[in-house]
Structure 1
Amino acid sequence: MTPDKTPLALYVHWPFCVSKCPYCDFNSHVRESVDQQAWRDALLADLAHEAGLLPGRRLGSVFFGGGTPSLMPPATVAAILDAAQRHWAPTDDIEITLEANPSSVEAARFADLAAAGVNRVSLGLQALDDNVLRFLGRAHDVAEGLGALDTAQRHFQRVSVDLIYARPGQSLAAWEAELARALSFGTEHLSLYQLTVEPGTRFATEEAKGRLTLPDGDAAADVFETTRAMTAAAGLPAYETSNHARPGAESRHNLTYWRYRDYAGVGPGAHGRRGGLATQRRRKPENWLAAVARNGHGIEAETALTAHERATEALLMGLRLAEGVDLTHVAALAGGRAPIDWAAVTRLAGQGLIVHAGDRLIVTEAGALLLDAILPLVVADAVAA
Structure 2
Amino acid sequence: MTQVFAPFGPHFGFGLYIHWPYCTRVCPYCDFNVYAAKDRATDPLVTAIADDIRVHRRKLPEHGALDTVYFGGGTPALLRPEQVAEILKAASETFGIKDGAEITLEANPNDVLKADLLALRRAGVTRLSIGVQSMRDSALAFLGRDHTAEAGGEAVKRALKVFDTISMDLIYARPGQSPANWEAELADALALGAPHLSLYELTFEPATAFGKAAQRGEIVPMPDDAQADLYELTQQMTRDAGMPAYEVSNHAASPAHQSRHNLIYWRGGDWIGAGPGAHGRVSVAGNRYATEAERRPEGYMAGMQMLQEGWADAAKLPPLDIAREILAMGLRAAEGVDLRRVEIVSGKKVSREKIGVFTEQGWVKLQGSELSLTESGRLLADALTSQLAP
Q: State the TM-score, normalizing by the size of structure 2.
A: 0.93
Tell whether 2:15 aligns with 1:5.
no
1:154 aligns with 2:166: no
Aligned position for 1:376: 386
Local SS of the residue matching 1:319: helix
Q: What does the per-residue CA deviation read over 1:305-358, in whole Å, with 9 as the maximum and x for residues that have no partner?
A: 122221111001001111111223333433x445x2333222212211112111
Q: 1:327, 1:360 within 8 Å by CA — same for their partners in 2?
A: yes
Distance 1:253 1:105, change over 3 A: closer
SS in structure 1 of the partner of residue 102 of structure 2? strand
Q: Distance in 2 between matches of 1:234 and 1:223?
A: 16
Q: How does 1:165-244 map to 2 (within 5 A)?
A: 165-244=172-251
Q: CA deviation at 1:59?
A: 1.0
Q: Is 1:51 the equivalent of 2:57? A: yes
Unpaired runs of 5+ in structure 2?
none
What residue in structure 1 maps to residue 370 of structure 2? Answer: 360
Residue 36 (structure 2) pairs with residue 30 (structure 1): yes
Q: 2:113·2:158 contact (CA, 8 Å) conserved in 1?
A: no
CA distance in 2, matches of 1:341, 1:49: 42
In structure 2, the residue corresponding to 1:167 is in which secondary structure? coil
Asked if 1:261 corresponds to 2:269, the answer is yes
Structure 2 counterparts to residues 45-124 of structure 1, below 5 A: 45-55=51-61, 56-104=63-111, 107-124=114-131
Candidates 269, 277, 280, aligned match of 1:272: 280
Tell me the TM-score normalised to structure 1 length. 0.94
CA distance in structure 2 between the partners assigned to 1:203 and 1:196 by the alignment:
9
1:285 Cα deviation from its structure 2 partner: 1.4
Distance 1:91 1:45 in 2: 20
Partners of 1:189 and 1:250 within 8 A in 2: yes
Deviates more, 1:6-15 or 1:234-243: 6-15
Q: CA deviation at 1:92?
A: 2.5
Whether the aligned pair in 2 keeps the contact of 1:7 and 1:57 (CA below 8 Å) is: no
Equivalent residues of 2:55, 2:307 under 8 A apart: no
What is the percentage of aligned positions where both structures have the same residue? 44
CA-CA distance at 1:104 after TM superposition: 4.9
Q: Secondary structure at the match of 1:122?
A: strand
Partners of 1:263 and 1:253 in 2: how far apart? 9
Between the aligned partners of 2:54 and 2:277, the Cα distance in structure 1 is 17
SS in 2 for 1:77: helix
Number of equivalences: 378
The structure whose RCO (Cα within 8 Å, separation 6+) is larger is 2
Q: Which amino acid aligns with 1:10?
A: L
> 1:92, 1:304 → 2: CA distance?
32
Aligned partner of residue 219 in structure 2, secondary structure: coil
Shift of the 104–351 alpha-carbon distance from structure 1 to 2, 3 Å rule, reads closer
How large is the Cα RMSD of the aligned pairs? 1.7
Counterpart of 1:349, as a letter, is: T
Q: Which amino acid aligns with 1:18?
A: T
Aligned to 1:345: 355
Equivalent residues in 2 for 1:330-341, closer than 5 Å: 330-334=342-346, 336-337=347-348, 340-341=350-351
- 1:96 partner SS: strand
